[in-house]
Amino acid sequence: MPTLANTDLLRAQLYIDGQWVAADCGKTFAVTNPADGTKIIDIADGGAVETRRAIAAAETAFDSWRKVTAKERSATLKRWYQLIIEHREDLAQLMTAEQGKPLAESRGEVNYGAAFVEWFAEEGRRIYGDTIDANDPNQRIITRKQPVGVVAAITPWNFPIAMITRKVAPALAAGCTIVLKPAKETPLCALALAALGEAAGIPPGVFSVVTGSRASEIGAELTGNPSVRKLTFTGSTAIGKTLLAQCAETIKKTSMELGGNAPFIVFDDADLDEAVRGAMASKYRNAGQTCVCANRILVQESVYEAFAQKLVQAVAELKVGNGADDGVTIGPLINRAALDKVSSIVNCAVENGAEVLIGREGSRGAEENYYYPTVLANVNEAMDICHEEIFGPVAPLLTFHTEEEAIRIANATPYGLAAYFYARDIGRVSRVSEALDYGIVGVNEGIISTEVAPFGGMKESGIGREGSKYGIEDYLEIKYVCLGGVNR
């Protein structure tokens, strides 16, 4: 159990229409600490009925929330932002307890998550329409942007705060109301955010949270209910496809932030020390459990040996352990299934000729989900590891000879979320950044996430963008108003 300064932030009930309630059936499920398998708390196990009620409350609340001025909505969001920052340490403790990431990363994520609230508090005041010259002198044409209505959000366990605020803040700023289903592994941060939202004055029904272990039951209600006008989802491409199909019946607007298979390319003119720093940050952040993690490291042949040696040295310095302990830089994976999946991907690569330069020690004990940071050499494109999202602290190294070959390998995937490359030649920097089929390209940078830039993917990595000035657009409809009879 994490020690919190404000114990009121540890909530175990659903938050629906401004009320903290148990599941109708009284059922609960356990939230556990992935570092040691211990139970943190039992929380309400909501389902379709509670979700339907939250949607109905959101629909009622939408009538009034959409009419609140942008300035007032902004002020409410700013209060929420302040409260998140004030309670940063408690939120970080909760995050490390339920998700496992090292405390320093949890504190960083609270800041990152809060930044979306602050950003959209500001952006919500800058929603503009147009006036357009009409062909008919008797007409005036104007456009206005209006909130889409009730939004449903389904969020993952890897960023238990930032993936929520990145959706809820633009929705509320635009004048929408929202029902959130957080991942069953990390509901405590979501409920703490709701408690702080309540304290900030977000009105009842505007932001509800339905926790539950039956994801497909809750998902079916969120996607099938005609009152929901938009679904926003972060998670795997496979689940994204199912949700998209479910949303088709009622033609909902959708934002999909899905899987990735990020190439990380090191060219022969790169600063190798910088490239290693970038690879470490991109690959091993959150124990490799991010959609934008370097998934394939492509190194030009002439610098391959030097890069591999420096990378292994850096990996040897990582400290694996409970994220709550001092100095730990790699926490556990989220659960046993995740550990088994990473082990099986690595074992398969090794059986097919990959060489372990460091790592691959696996779990430390029956209840512990640690995978030691690993670097694999002799990896080639034919191996499954180059086509699957690893979602663990494993860096597969491949070699290439020419720029064209690097681009071809990098783009040979249905995914298109993030890509990275290290090079100094200005021509190459321009050519490669244009040729990569990815929504996000980090050039000489391993960490690209920020509230001010558009985050999102091409191809099977998703639809839409989050953060930045574009992130609010997905929560707005453009209405065209034609005023006729002006001179009659």
Q: Residue numbers of the site for ligand SIN (CB under 6 A)?
A: 158-159, 162, 234, 257, 290-292, 449
Catalytic residue among 176, 291, 293, 386: 291
CB-based contacts of 36, cutoff 8 Å, min separation 6: 322, 367, 368
Q: How far is the CB of 112 from ligand SIN (least distance, A)?
A: 7
In this complex, which beta carbon is closest to ligand SIN, that of residue 221 or of residue 389? Answer: 389
Q: How far is the CB of 268 from ligand SIN (least distance, A)?
A: 29
133 with 82: CB under 8 angstroms?
no
In this complex, which beta carbon is closest to ligand SIN, that of residue 59 or of residue 257? Answer: 257
What is the Cα–Cα distance from 113 to 163, expressed in whole angstroms? 7
76 with 118: CB under 8 angstroms?
no
In this complex, which beta carbon is closest to ligand SIN, that of residue 289 or of residue 399? Answer: 289
Find the distance separating the first CA and the last CA of the chain, reported in whole Å: 73
Which residue's CB comes closest to ligand SIN?
Answer: 449
Is 257 tagged catalytic? yes
What is the Cα–Cα distance from 154 to 360, expressed in whole angstroms? 33
What is the Cα–Cα distance from 347 to 361, expressed in whole angstroms? 11
Q: How far is the CB of 259 from ligand SIN (least distance, A)?
A: 9
Reference 311, options 350, 348, 344, 264; nearest CA is 264
Q: How far is the CB of 406 from ligand SIN (least distance, A)?
A: 24
What is the Cα–Cα distance from 326 to 103, expressed in whole angstroms? 8
Q: How far is the CB of 292 from ligand SIN (least distance, A)?
A: 5
In this complex, which beta carbon is closest to ligand SIN, that of residue 205 or of residue 457? Answer: 457
Q: How far is the CB of 234 from ligand SIN (least distance, A)?
A: 5
Residues forming a β-bridge with 399: 299
The structure tokens 């990152």 sit at 112
Q: How far is the CB of 49 from ligand SIN (least distance, A)?
A: 30
2 with 160: CB under 8 angstroms?
no
In this complex, which beta carbon is closest to ligand SIN, that of residue 205 or of residue 467? Answer: 467
In this complex, which beta carbon is closest to ligand SIN, that of residue 291 or of residue 349? Answer: 291
What is the Cα–Cα distance from 462 to 351, expressed in whole angstroms? 33
Q: How far is the CB of 289 from ligand SIN (least distance, A)?
A: 8
Catalytic residue among 59, 98, 105, 257: 257
In this complex, which beta carbon is closest to ligand SIN, that of residue 11 or of residue 296? Answer: 296
In this complex, which beta carbon is closest to ligand SIN, that of residue 74 or of residue 96? Answer: 96
Q: Work out the burial of residue 211: count CB atoms within 10 Å of its CB; fewer than 13 is exposed, 13-18 middle, 19 or more buried.
A: buried
Residues with catalytic roles: 257, 291
